[in-house]
Chains A and B, each alone.
Chain A
């Protein structure tokens, strides 16, 4: 009435969410699967940010990791193989109020979904993209993925994967308008937590490649790094992932790396002998497409009617 908003009332009962509010169905991943660590961490990030469960949407494609939405108590969209990102972009396009998460794997994102991956990074919509990279197809039982190491034996290449693996970090870095690239192992809970939290807080697409353990089909993918943390390079910087001394003590190899420096980022990303851990690249000024796609949402029906009649006038006989 009188142009005032009808509802000024505050919510009477303040809602506080516990981890249980973000829990979905019981996770059916193998014992020792790194996905469980990511799921638990995600629940904690949501809880600590006190996100409204009804306002978060977890989108995925197909594969072991793409079961993620079923294990989160928010809204979810478990789509088609390789298509998590277009679906997620669509969710966000006209609903900037929704908190969007994407869970996808190395096969889902880097192989069948490669086209969407490239373009979604460029769209840079405000969302988190978690790549569960275990270097193998798990759900379909041990086929070579784009990140399977050369020579690893799989059911499609019993004598060993023939080609050098793809480096998703350099590929992603090469995409214009990319704004946040991090890499993290699933077996370091504090670092995993801080990395996912930073991606969640980032305005734009927070791309996190998680080195994920698959004890059943690709145990050798992560084991060397798990057993020898010095084989990874911890990236430190005041604009990087916050990390406490406990985390820093684990990784003997460290480098002060400015995530705003693209050339330096490429330099650490391309070194396959020593995978970088932490924030590789950050651009807080990259245009966010979901800000453009949401234009005009405040237009009233009356204004629509007038505009539509003006459109019809142009064709009037």
Chain B
């Protein structure tokens, strides 16, 4: 029987474990070789926890290769689940408890700073008796090294227990581990079994039953062998308000349907593709169609064609795909075709870090296309916003006759979080294509002098016939190379952003609206930034934060807000030079992307802190960075 007496975790454990100990939150990881189902285990665990009313955030640990070598640090595949009795907005800091199917995969997690002294590791022990001496030696060396570094390692015969139920424990150990976690964290059994049924619903009764048996075995095993036993109370007392739990890509997919779109035109690209997978699964139920195009360019071309013909369409991609689409985005800007482009950002440049998070497409989203191509750029900062911003994007695209780029990222895409269930309304859907006759006195681009807005004829509308063109054109869409037409039409397209900006309110400051330091972020870093800020503010620091959703046009009032702080600094996940580095000075330093935009916009000397480690920012790390900046300000 494993007892928690040797724990040195930050969670004070008080008394024995005959009753579960109540804790406010825990970070759990399941790590394995690729293909052993650790992600499914963690997703199911996160989903069960969300359904029990806990705050949840999950992050997938993804190897970049499909079949990395077994038992290798590079092959670490798995999932982190942070759950608590409060609303959880990010992946948190170091893990509290880890289930690992071999010891080698733990090395990469340790290298990532995922564990601390006192992290409990429940480790598969079969490697101790492996026929290969190298494996036996590697295993025992690792276990002693982990222990020496403060991890609390418990060696467990998980696979042996699984072998009683299945001949291939590689395919079943994940549900066994789920059973263990369910017992350790006092999960409701009926919810667990129902979730397993749903997870395997497409695989048939037999598969569901054998997975439930493995789950039960894991639960029993943990009851008998493991004394760690916790309770994490639900955070919401009002269970009557319905909630849903999804990852960010599913949220994008739900948003596509809730926006009434009819077409998703895409080309496979990590980490965006799972959004299209989800849409493809259910889209026909709402009458939609997923077109897998031959390439990224054809994907957006197809969507532009559909939109020109009056049908609402979107294309979903990631950075390299956005790069390929830029010429087409320019066409949509020039010819004023409404279109939603979702960019699930990953690490770049080139193929970069396909499975990992970065916020490095901001400048290419803003300025990627040739010529001056004003467009709307939005960034979702929570999973819930991934859903609602697709609807918003669709409406903006149509009202302003403009392409809208919605930026999310790999962290949001694979993160799972519960949020209020949207009350879908029919008016969110698009209206049927207008086929009534067009007033022939109204040109195809009847620009309003002040706003640049104009209604557009749709093919099928009698007397509305016009030729959409990417060439400079007059209000009747006639090709025109003359100076005045080009100047005026640039002005009209640009004016639309000015008009949109007039409708926006200044962003809300998180914390006091004046102080020493203002941290500005965008996208998925919201939760981590605000958690760090809250902690510092509790300690009496005069620090606040601001999170931007509209990047083009940039939200109003920034110069005024910035003027109330001694220093303004962005926190981003893209590369910037560090002033402490050799050779780097104010003259040659390259700034993080939002910082560049803000400096140009506000003329405020905005500083930046950014890293490209490929993983989401942790609140603990931000706490230290911001503390240091505050200290420097005081000196």
Contacts and interface: CB of A to CB of B under 8 A. Distances in A.
A296 B289 contact: yes
Contact of A79 (B198, B331, B421, B479): B331
Contacts of B302: 86-87, 89-90, 93
A101 to B, nearest CB: 12
A244 interface: no
Contacts of B289: 93-94, 292-296
Interface in B295-310: 295, 297-299, 301-310
A299 interface: yes
A55 interface: yes
Contacts of B426: 301-302, 304-305
B243 A317 contact: yes
A248 B479 CA distance: 42
Interface string B272-305: 0000000000101111110101110111011111
Nearest to B251: A315
A91 B309 contact: yes
B355 interface: no
Contacts of B305: 59, 77, 86-93
Contacts of B459: 54-55, 57, 75, 91, 95, 98
Contacts, number: 202
B246 A315 contact: yes
A92 B289 CA distance: 13
B297 A83 contact: yes
A70 interface: yes
Of B246, B299, B421, B459, most A-chain CB atoms within 10 Å: B459
A309 B307 CA distance: 26
Contact of B245 (A119, A299, A315): A315
A10 interface: no
Interface in B235-270: 242-246, 250, 254, 257-258, 260, 262-263, 265
A120 to B, nearest CB: 8
Contacts of B50: 317
A272 interface: no
Contacts of B198: 314
A121 to B, nearest CB: 11
Given A54-B459, A311-B254, A78 B471 contact: yes
B467 interface: yes
Given A296-B288, A317-B53, A24 B424 contact: no
Given A86-B298, A87-B304, A296-B289, A307 B242 contact: no
Contact of B466 (A75, A98, A307): A75
Nearest to B311: A94
B313 interface: yes
A8 B180 CA distance: 67
Contacts of A4: none
Nearest to A119: B294
Interface string A26-52: 000000000000000000000000001
B258 A97 contact: no
| B: interface residue count bin | 35 or more
A6 interface: no
Interface residues of A, number: 60
A83 B305 CA distance: 10
B467 A311 contact: no
A174 interface: no
B287 A298 contact: yes
A54 B458 CA distance: 9
Nearest to A300: B287
A206 interface: no
A73 interface: yes
A317 B313 contact: no
Contacts of A25: 478
A94 B310 CA distance: 9
Interface in A131-164: none
Contacts of A316: 51, 242-244, 421
B263 A308 contact: no
A107 interface: no
A85 B302 CA distance: 8
B304 A93 contact: no
A76 B298 contact: no
Contact of B460 (A54, A77, A86, A296): A54
Contacts of B327: 80
B471 A90 contact: no
A316 B422 CA distance: 11
B159 interface: no
Nearest to B246: A315
A272 B268 CA distance: 39
Nearest to A299: B287
Interface in A66-116: 69-70, 73-80, 83, 85-95, 97-98, 115-116
A216 interface: no
B328 interface: yes
A53 interface: yes
A263 to B, nearest CB: 27
A301 B468 contact: no
Nearest to A21: B465
Contacts of B308: 77, 87, 90-91
Contacts of B137: none
A219 B284 CA distance: 52
Contacts of B306: 90-91, 93-95
Contacts of A76: 465-469
A208 to B, nearest CB: 21
A90 B304 contact: yes
A312 B466 contact: no
Given A94-B263, A295-B284, A316-B244, A308 B257 contact: yes
B467 A312 contact: no
A312 B295 contact: no
B5 interface: no
A1 interface: no
A79 B254 contact: no
B429 interface: yes
B78 to A, nearest CB: 22
Contact of B467 (A78, A94, A97, A303): A78
B463 interface: yes
B546 to A, nearest CB: 30
B218 interface: no
B374 interface: no
A75 to B, nearest CB: 4
A12 interface: no
B470 to A, nearest CB: 6
A282 B244 CA distance: 52
Contacts of B263: 90, 93-94, 293
A83 B296 CA distance: 12
Nearest to B433: A95
B144 interface: no
Contacts of B429: 301, 304
A119 B298 CA distance: 10
B328 A312 contact: no
Contacts of B258: 308
16 contacts: A55-B459, A69-B469, A78-B471, A80-B331, A86-B302, A89-B301, A92-B305, A93-B306, A98-B309, A295-B287, A297-B287, A303-B286, A307-B257, A307-B282, A307-B286, A315-B254
Given A53-B465, A83-B297, A95-B311, 17 more contacts: A54-B460, A70-B479, A75-B459, A76-B467, A78-B467, A79-B304, A87-B302, A89-B305, A90-B302, A90-B305, A92-B309, A93-B263, A95-B310, A303-B286, A307-B257, A308-B254, A309-B424
